[in-house]
Amino acid sequence: MYEKDTVFIVGHGKTGADNPITANYKIFFIGFVVDPKTDRIVDLECTATLDITKRFIYELFEGNDFSRYDEALEQEIMTRYFGTSQKAVITAYKDAQKRYTDIRKNR
């Protein structure tokens, strides 16, 4: 399904106690499949409880450059995604992007 060179990175963020994500998963995760030749996000999935949320988050991230943290993308999340897990999405993105940067340094 994925090219042999792609890598899988997971980031996580904390959701509020009253959030259904917390009840179902305890924490919010986004798993990113990234092509290290282009640094582009080729696929992702998250632990949202609604399919529409998963699709919307996918649309926000898919195809973006993962080589550096993108403040414009963070701003887009803040101006377009108003789910109760908004901060968790941003935190998970930051966490995964940092992991990816660390992996690239050590390859």
pLDDT at 20 over 90: no
Average pLDDT of the chain to the nearest whole number: 93
CA–CA separation, 23 and 16 (whole Å): 10
Q: What is the mean pLDDT of residues 88-106?
A: 94
CA–CA separation, 101 and 66 (whole Å): 8
What would the pLDDT profile of 28-38 be if each residue is shown by its tens digit? 999 999 999 99
Give the class (CATH, top level) of 7-106.
Answer: alpha beta
pLDDT number for residue 15:
87
Length of the chain: 107
What would the pLDDT profile of 41-75 be if each residue is shown by its tens digit? 999 999 988 999 999 999 999 999 999 999 999 99
The more confident residue out of 106 and 6 is 6
Going from N- to C-terminal start, the domains of the chain cover 7-106
